[in-house]
């Protein structure tokens, strides 16, 4: 039976941890330049409604380095849900390729794509969630801490698709997650309630960033205005000014705390140069691990690990 990765909840907790171990193994194989090409003779269709440098580079390079061929399809090639029905695109692209990766605006489109595709579908981002990013993030935390025990992550900024994916992961793995955001920018309320009702993780929503970061192992942020929200930038700068992750906020944790950002960063807005370049910044390890986490996800979907 075909398996997709649309949210992190498509994997069990055991499969999530297996994926982290697999990612570390494959990462080492690539660094050692081993002759390891499990995707030899296979092709990956990459459908992009939303452009992204990191997503394209990490998927295309990762699939190529594992022996396969990745095909980029931009909005001029496939206009998801516009020029052609999504269910038709799903069935046609499946006939040519072994796997589909899609980075889209509308979450309903990724659900329809997965429903009608006959090959595994990987969600590389929608406006609702960003599961590959969170897998790379937790892999990075695991590498730096050595374990995920008694982990507190404080996200500071807009309660966006990244936060939604953290909430989904909190239903599978136990950790303390706090989202500190201005009033009116909280994450999806139903998802917050579901994560809280799971009784596995501690979930908090706060409008006080300094209180929220206290004792945090990780402080995480993202841009204040995502793609499709740029017309709100000036309004958001005023509303979010107290939520900048700067030296003062990092000091408010009261401990040595890792800093993470899913990139691209708008330095001087949601965070500062000094924090980005600090010894506790693991931003670029996090960016590298996008490729390794995604490789592991695709290997598991393909039944090759």
**Phi, psi torsion values for 144, nearest 5 degrees:** -80, -35
Cis preceding-peptide flag for 187 (omega within 30 of 0) = no
Tell me how far apart the alpha carbons of residues 22 and 285 are, in angstroms, rounded to a whole number.
17
Catalytic site residue from 132, 179, 181, 262: 262
153 Cβ contact list (under 8 Å, min separation 6): 141, 166, 175, 176, 177, 178, 216, 217, 218, 220
Q: 262 catalytic, yes or no? A: yes
Contact of 101 with 44, CB cutoff 8 Å = yes
Tokens of 159: 């309660």
Tokens of 238: 């005023």
Contact of 131 with 168, CB cutoff 8 Å = yes
In angstroms, how far is CA 277 from the centroid of its own chain? Answer: 22
- Hey, which residues are catalytic here? 262
């Amino acid at each position: 039976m075909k398996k997709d990765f649309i949210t992190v909840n498509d994997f069990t907790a055991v499969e999530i941890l297996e994926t982290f171990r697999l990612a570390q193994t494959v990462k080492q194989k690539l660094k050692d330049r081993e002759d390891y090409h499990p995707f030899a003779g296979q092709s990956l269709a990459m459908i992009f409604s939303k452009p992204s440098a990191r997503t394209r580079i990490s998927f295309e390079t990762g699939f190529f380095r594992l022996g396969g061929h990745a095909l980029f399809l931009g909005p001029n090639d496939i206009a998801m849900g516009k020029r052609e029905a999504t269910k038709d695109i799903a069935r046609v692209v499946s006939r040519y390729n072994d796997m589909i990766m899609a980075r889209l605006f509308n979450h309903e489109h990724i659900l329809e794509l997965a429903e009608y595709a006959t090959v595994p579908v990987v969600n590389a981002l929608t406006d609702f969630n960003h599961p590959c990013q969170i897998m790379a993030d937790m892999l990075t935390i695991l590498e730096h801490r050595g374990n995920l025990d008694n982990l507190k992550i404080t996200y500071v900024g807009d309660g966006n698709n990244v936060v939604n994916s953290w909430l989904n992961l909190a239903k599978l793995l136990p950790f303390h997650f706090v989202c500190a955001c201005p009033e009116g920018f909280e994450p999806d309320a139903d998802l917050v309630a579901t994560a809280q009702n799971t009784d596995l993780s501690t979930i908090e929503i706060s409008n006080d960033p300094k209180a929220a970061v206290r004792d945090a192992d990780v402080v995480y942020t993202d841009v204040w205005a995502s793609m499709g929200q740029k017309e709100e930038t000036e309004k958001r700068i005023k509303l979010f000014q107290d939520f900048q992750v700067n030296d003062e906020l990092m000091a408010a944790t009261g401990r040595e705390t890792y800093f993470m950002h899913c990139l691209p960063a708008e330095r001087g807005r949601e965070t500062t140069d000094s924090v980005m370049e600090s010894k506790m910044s693991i931003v670029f390890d996090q960016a590298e691990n996008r490729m390794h986490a995604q490789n592991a996800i695709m290997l598991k979907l393909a039944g090759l690990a």
